[in-house]
Amino acid sequence: MRSLPKSFKDYKYLISKVGFSPIRGLLAYPFLAKGSSVPFLGKGVKIIEKGKVKFASLVWIGQNCYIDASCNNQVNFGKGVTIRENATIQCRSGLNKIGEGLSISDGTFIGPCAKIGVGGFITIGTNCQMGAHVTFNAESHENLDGSFTGGSVKRIGIEIGNDVWIGDGVTILDGVKIGNNVAIGAGSVVNRNIPDGEVHAGVPAKRLSN
């Protein structure tokens, strides 16, 4: 979990950042999934299918985030999760193509401008740290009828373990499973599983050390 504020300047910063976010959370609260807590919602946050979204306590959603929770299950945010500004969580890839769902566990931080494409189910563990412009693609196109654009999609899902560090601009592709205590260098494209305790980087991402 991230450290608590220690100085007056820290508290002043938090107060200026919070603003009306608790009020926005209260306005959304009656429409959220049963058992949800009141989130902190930044200015310009848009949530589609609020009844599919469940927030634990102390969840912060930054300004101008877009959450389309049109999915077969739910979009769940654990205690103390932070999603920074301008992030997109997209569970629907077409009118008749809703995704499976998303679970982000306690204490995880996702940086600005993240793009989380939910086709297959995405699971993100506890206390993960992700930089800006991280992308998850939990589906892939299949050329079964001679056309990638008109063909079907395959959805396996993505699993991220606990205490995982993901640098800026990393892309994680469908079917990938990442273990615990993993670090992934900025700009990497992850197209295969990563075991516990390893450091990977590159396009495609390859093991550097453990």
Which residues carry out catalysis? 141
Q: CB of 105 within 8 A of CB of 80?
A: no
How many residues in the chain? 210
Token duo for residue 116: 């989380």
Q: Are strands 199-201 and 206-209 parallel, antiparallel or unpaired?
A: antiparallel
Please choose, from the candidates 207, 174, 201, the residue with its C-alpha nearest in 3D space to the C-alpha of residue 188: 201
Compute φ and ψ for 54, nearest 5 degrees. Answer: -130, 125
